[in-house]
Amino acid sequence: MFWLSGGITFLFLCHGAALPPPCDSEIYCTGELLRQVQMAKLFDDNKAFVDMKLTAAPDIVLDAFSNLTQRFPNGTVPPSALQVFVNTYFANSGKEFEPWSPPDWHDKPKLLSKISDPKLRTWAEELHGLWKSLGRKISNDVRDNPQMYSMIYCPYPGIVPGGRFTEFYYWDSYWVLNGLILSEMMETARGMIQNFLHMVDRYGFVPNGGRIYYERRSQPPFLPLMVESYYEATKDVEFLRKALPMLENEYSFWMENRSIVVEVNSVKHVMNRYYVQVGQPRPESYTHDAELAEGLPAEAQEKLWTELKAGAESGWDFSSRWYINNLGQNNGSFGDTRTSSILPVDLNALICRNERVLATFHRILGDEERARVYDSAVSSRLKAIESVLWDAEKGAWFDYNLLSRTRNSAFYPTNLSPLWARCYSQPEMGQQALQYLRGSGALDYPNGVPTSLSQSGQQWDMPNAWPPLQHMLIEGLSQLDSSDAKDLASDLAQQWIRTNWLAYVKYDAMFEKYDVSGDGKPGGGGEYEVQLGFGWTNGAALQLLDQYGNKLTSGGSVLGSGLLIGLIYPIVNVISYYVPFW
Ligand SMILES: *[C@@H]1O[C@H](CO)[C@@H](O)[C@H](O)[C@H]1NC(C)=O
Ligand SMILES: *[C@@H]1O[C@H](CO)[C@@H](O)[C@H](O)[C@H]1NC(C)=O
Ligand SMILES: *[C@@H]1O[C@H](CO)[C@@H](O)[C@H](O)[C@H]1NC(C)=O
Ligand SMILES: *[C@@H]1O[C@H](CO)[C@@H](O)[C@H](O)[C@H]1NC(C)=O
């Protein structure tokens, strides 16, 4: 059906034809076996079940399950019998890997010598050492018998995030890769990129992660920037030549399958959004999605599940940023997640940066004509971002709500992402965005810039601070042509490194996210426990240590001044008591 709203035509999905499941596997992605096992909550984390390996061919497992259901009059297998069935036909995960340690790892990469503070230098050395424990090589058995696994075979070994995330994740890998380059592990970095190029060849885009239940959604498209980082470090033109056709295929996917035309002030712009036309609960969070949709009419359930998958595709799973209530306002609760009705600033800024990188790559390879195609994509994108997302009064960019046709005025660090992408045409916009940030209230926290100012209980909201968002904000500010902005970037780097370091000292671990309100406290909330490891945290920290290593200190400005105040205050008080004119 068509729904007319202030001049834009929205095409809503027609529910006559059911949407495809997350993948075709009747064990891992759809069907009664998955439903019954997950709804019985045999595992604390739904992901544990869909990561298990089969012990018999899928047909046999399905046949055995069908036989089992026939033993119960209403077809529902009680949990104890389900558990016996799972123990028989599934084996614990872990068998999909072979032992592997990155062969290009060596101690004392040059990065370390740039770090002045001895404690931070020792810590950086340990972070560099963590790559060895996060390396994974997928076993040949996954390649030869893929039907027995949910794991997607990748030809090259690589680094995974850690914790429950034992497979590759798309956008995480950008920070991992930049860390690997600083660790001088070019072969591992190159292999990870080759895996992603292989994914584009196979699927037409890069899936969210390395499991078949992720194969019908993507994540923020960082592959062109990974190739850029690798090219800048190696100047390997031949690698660029081989990679470029796949980068263009991926770009076409985003432009054909993840775009929408939006008309503002009578001008039409093509912009990007997260949009996943895939039905059913996410297999790895099955009960969560099923329970959230409980009581809704079938059509609304299916719609909610597409929006949750689009939320997962955004990398921000989940956040009040994606809530739109029945009145079209950016407000509501988890069940109001409507990711696909939002044009996100960061996605459009990222694709703008990708377009510029694709133009540069074509120029390096001597194809001026193709370079111009991407130049013109950049200029259209600049116009779109400025007319749809830029708010001249507030001095920043804001997500656009397609239902209310208004910008969402809430703070997210991504409101400054065009700085990072250098995707704006007027230099004064940079200074305005700096003023906006200072007035936003987001700089009031001692342990990082919060993901939002809304305490929703979701993990991509207050009080969590995430490494990629800190890093993009710091990089964006550091690129501004103003000492104020550069100083702020440096202060934020100091604050973030101190947060990471304090938690490391306390827990002997790196976390996927941190809490802005406690010194060295891991983040929380969301669908699962906070994870250790952790790929992008380590990568972002190594980049900040590389860039600011000569000034960063483990004492840190905030802690330092706190200690100083703690010492001076009583002295001042004592003096002022005895010396009336102090
Ligand atoms: C399912 O039941 C049929 C009929 O009893 C039997 O032939 C078949 O072997 C059973 N399948 C499995 C996998 O146990
Ligand atoms: C099926 O039967 C079992 C026991 O006979 C009962 O506990 C369960 O609630 C029933 N399930 C449904 C969906 O009717
Ligand atoms: C993209 O959309 C087109 C239809 O517009 C469809 O044929 C194609 O399969 C989609 N590509 C992917 C990778 O989903
Ligand atoms: C969002 O909704 C809550 C509860 O209805 C309300 O208190 C709050 O003011 C709303 N916020 C905005 C920004 O509209």
Q: Which atom of ligand 1 is nearest to the CA of 60?
A: 13
Helix (H, G, I), strand (E, B) or coil at 226: helix
Q: Which ligand gives the minimal distance to the CA of 64?
A: 1
* Whether the CB of 331 sits within 6 Å of ligand 4: yes
Backbone angles phi, psi at 439, to 5 degrees: -90, 0
Which DSSP category does 364 fall into?
Answer: H
The reported pLDDT for the residue numbered 215 is 98
237 token code pair: 């033109």
* Whether the CB of 67 sits within 6 Å of ligand 1: yes
| 311 in Cβ contact with 297 (< 8 Å) | no
* Whether the CB of 71 sits within 6 Å of ligand 1: no
Write out pLDDT tens, residues 443-501. Answer: 999 999 999 999 999 999 999 999 999 999 999 999 999 999 999 999 999 999 999 99
C-alpha 65 – ligand 1 centre gap (Å):
9
- List the residue whose alpha carbon is closest to atom 3 of ligand 1: 67
Q: What is the DSSP string of 279-333?
A: -S--GGGHHHHHHHTTTS-HHHHHHHHHHHHHHHHTS--S-GGGB--TTS-S---
Residues in the chain, pLDDT under 50: 1-15, 556-582
Which DSSP category does 136 fall into?
Answer: E
* Whether the CB of 60 sits within 6 Å of ligand 1: yes
Among 546, 538, 543, which residue's Cα sits nearest to residue 162?
Answer: 538
Q: Which of 96, 167, 307, 317 is catalytic?
A: 317
Other beta carbons within 10 angstroms of residue 455's beta carbon come to: 12
- List the residue whose alpha carbon is closest to atom 5 of ligand 1: 67
Q: Which atom of ligand 4 is nearest to the CA of 331?
A: 1
With both helix axes pointing from N to C terminus, report the angle between 58-70 and 32-39 in degrees, rounded to the nearest 10: 70
Among 281, 336, 335, which residue's Cα sits nearest to residue 305?
Answer: 281
* Whether the CB of 74 sits within 6 Å of ligand 2: yes
- E runs forming strands in 120-203: 135-138, 158-159
Give the C-alpha separation, 511 to 514, whole Å. Answer: 7
**What is the residue whose two structure tokens read 């068998």?**
95
| 514 in Cβ contact with 499 (< 8 Å) | yes
Is 238 an annotated catalytic residue? Answer: no
573 token code pair: 């008080």
- List the residue whose alpha carbon is closest to atom 9 of ligand 4: 331
Give the C-alpha separation, 415 to 345, whole Å. Answer: 6
C-alpha 63 – ligand 4 centre gap (Å):
51
3-state percent breakdown (helix, strand, coil) of the chain, nearest 5: 50, 10, 40
* Whether the CB of 63 sits within 6 Å of ligand 1: yes
The reported pLDDT for the residue numbered 573 is 35
Give the C-alpha separation, 241 to 236, whole Å. Answer: 9
31 token code pair: 């069907």
Give the C-alpha separation, 463 to 308, whole Å. Answer: 21
C-alpha 334 – ligand 4 centre gap (Å):
14
| Alpha-carbon torsion angle 294, 297, 298, 303, nearest 10 | -80
Give the C-alpha separation, 467 to 474, whole Å. Answer: 11
Beta carbons within 8 Å of 476's beta carbon, 6+ residues apart: 416, 417, 418, 419, 420, 421
Helix (H, G, I), strand (E, B) or coil at 533: coil
Backbone angles phi, psi at 382, to 5 degrees: -60, -45
C-alpha 67 – ligand 1 centre gap (Å):
6
Give the C-alpha separation, 423 to 582, whole Å. Answer: 53
Position 552, amino acid: L
Among 502, 505, 509, 559, which residue's Cα sits nearest to residue 537?
Answer: 509
Q: Which ligand gives the minimal distance to the CA of 331?
A: 4
| 503 in Cβ contact with 511 (< 8 Å) | yes
Which DSSP category does 481 fall into?
Answer: S
- List the alpha helices (DSSP H) in 448-551: 467-478, 483-507, 535-548
If one residue of 63, 68, 84, 89 were mutated to test the ligand 1 pocket, choosing by the most ligand atoms within 8 A of its CB, it would be 63
* Whether the CB of 76 sits within 6 Å of ligand 2: yes
Backbone angles phi, psi at 282, to 5 degrees: -65, 125
Is 289 an annotated catalytic residue? Answer: no
Helix (H, G, I), strand (E, B) or coil at 236: coil
| 496 in Cβ contact with 554 (< 8 Å) | no
| 258 in Cβ contact with 274 (< 8 Å) | yes
Among 490, 450, 472, 471, which residue's Cα sits nearest to residue 540?
Answer: 471
Give the C-alpha separation, 427 to 440, whole Å. Answer: 21
| 419 in Cβ contact with 477 (< 8 Å) | yes
| 193 in Cβ contact with 230 (< 8 Å) | yes
99 token code pair: 């032992």
The reported pLDDT for the residue numbered 571 is 38
Average pLDDT of the chain? 92
C-alpha 257 – ligand 3 centre gap (Å):
6
